[in-house]
Chain A
């Protein structure tokens, strides 16, 4: 029986709900409809020419690094290499915008950002060569291990930034993820935690068009990936990912905002992956040449080169100088990568726990016996002897 059917009841007037208001005003969080650009616009006049030249040199070096690393896969020196050619502006800006005390949380494609931050080019490749998972001490460079599972490093960045703030350090964490990674649960949870805690984190999504073979339209129905920010209560910024000056500026503002206690920002850099997903992938199965060619006209190095040469800041000598420096880096990388790494198999048991368990000690003893037998020495079985 409904209220209306009650005999003699007055017309039912529901009690109004308690006053409701949004927790956050959504308007300032929304990204602009077009990706922000600097090169080729009036905004470029405000950019320090030294910064533009620095970005140029690093971009040229980065592209050469990608080419060299890809070549190393063909020689069998690397198990795999996910090239970031075409995305160098995002990689380099991410590295250059951070202070020494800040932390970078790269994904598996972000070797270039780690190298631009000062990591040894060989140490950055040990994961992909297959000798060690992380060839460097994360604390030394404040670079988290290159992360292979998608988006799982994002909550780490939030936790680290949160911990730094609790300790009173003005440290910012910059976490990098691809367009595919934004579909993962950890992306959502990281952004949510960051916004609730107002953690000093910047999330950089490199939207390079494809998650291996799946295009963005099959990845999300959102207006843009930057629009996702508003749902978490943080600003979303859309930037031309091939415009190094624009990416540097947008990330710089986001980092400054985080450092001053303003909380996290989600930056979507719209870019394009010129190479296949990795050397093992065949991109012709899922994209057409005309699309690749259209992006080639918007190449991040060409954009910067045109700006610098047009203003007389860069001449043929400067271009040649950057090329030669990149070539030197590649030659040194090639030479060092052509040396076989020396590995100690007993290290397999060294870093599982602080102290080896008895089970691991037994297994280590077993391996030692096998190694001694392999080396043709007179092997005796430690395990049997111990019984």
Chain B
């Protein structure tokens, strides 16, 4: 039976609290039910349902040929997915944790990202690479990396990251349907965040590449994505007491980048802070700050600031709270936006 997503606005079921993890699983299930070429593969995705249970029940419902437990080898998982896509399938691969994806980088960069280009458009590769990423869950070494800078530096890949339950469903559906390869970054510390949501009554699925204003404001823009969105929303609420009315932009997609929404916001507010938890040097914040400056220079009342993780290897879990940008660090940056040029 196919459970097609109902058109936006047509509410056929009452929304109940659902987690982001459940929404992601439902997106996989609905994609597989609608399109028999969608295949899920990865380590532990079958019988176990994935270490985060995102793929729970898929092997049972669709069989092991559609949801396959592979040997433990990330280059092999992504490399075989390339061949499957070459033969007309639509593979969705799971990289169990962010840092486990590194062995697959050559396949991702040399083949997944480039096949369309290498073959002058003759061979598209509709592969979705799901990567649980980021810290804040008390994971030990190699389980908390934010690797988005590596992905966004690779032309040919879309890089998408949801921050809400609705987007987790809608963006994953859009990613699987895309004829371009998508690196789908799942903020694992938001897996258990909840919202009133029902797949029978989904929010409108935006095409990949559109940012959204999560909170309108007038005095400055917080530009963020994924795990840092709740931090920014909380900071914006806290800033009200200080007399700041902050606008929060959720990028949702790092590639393509929505210059228009971001620039329009900063032109309104005149001030901007980019917030993400990956390292700052060479990180996405530098690129975003430069783009904002190029487009909004005459509207800016202060330099575009960045709040990021430190430029250190991801720290051990007992220390991670010092590394992850929290509300206070965001508010400190907002305070620095009352900038005056040094003489």
Contacts and interface: CB of A to CB of B under 8 A. Distances in A.
A120 to B, nearest CB: 14
B65 interface: yes
A10 to B, nearest CB: 41
Interface of B is mostly: mixed
Interface residues of A, number: 40
Nearest to A127: B118
Given A152-B110, A351-B121, A357-B257, A186 B87 contact: no
Interface of A is mostly: helix
Interface stretch (B74-82, B136-144, B216-224): B74-82
A352 B84 contact: no
Interface stretch (A15-23, A70-78, A163-171, A223-231): A163-171
A347 B158 CA distance: 20
Nearest to B79: A155
A137 interface: yes
A354 B180 contact: yes
B289 to A, nearest CB: 16
A181 B290 CA distance: 42
Interface string B157-198: 010000000000000000000111000000000000000000
B270 interface: no
B128 to A, nearest CB: 14
B119 A145 contact: yes
B6 interface: no
A290 interface: no
B86 A193 contact: no
Contacts of A189: 71, 73, 75-76, 79
A164 B86 CA distance: 10
Contacts of A245: none
Interface in A120-179: 132-134, 137-139, 144-145, 149, 152, 154-164, 166-167, 173
B229 to A, nearest CB: 23
Given A144-B86, A152-B110, A152-B111, A351 B103 contact: no
B82 A163 contact: no
A349 B300 CA distance: 32
B120 A132 contact: yes
Nearest to A156: B83
A55 interface: no
B282 interface: no
Contacts of A133: 114, 117-120
28 contacts: A133-B117, A137-B119, A137-B122, A138-B122, A145-B118, A145-B123, A155-B76, A155-B78, A155-B83, A156-B111, A159-B83, A160-B83, A160-B86, A166-B65, A166-B89, A185-B75, A189-B73, A193-B80, A352-B156, A353-B256, A354-B124, A357-B209, A357-B255, A357-B256, A357-B257, A358-B257, A358-B260, A359-B256
Interface of A: 132-134, 137-139, 144-145, 149, 152, 154-164, 166-167, 173, 185-186, 189-190, 192-193, 196, 347, 350-354, 357-359
- List the 10 closest A-B pairs by CB distance, nearest first: A159-B83, A155-B79, A189-B76, A159-B80, A160-B83, A357-B256, A163-B87, A133-B118, A156-B83, A137-B122
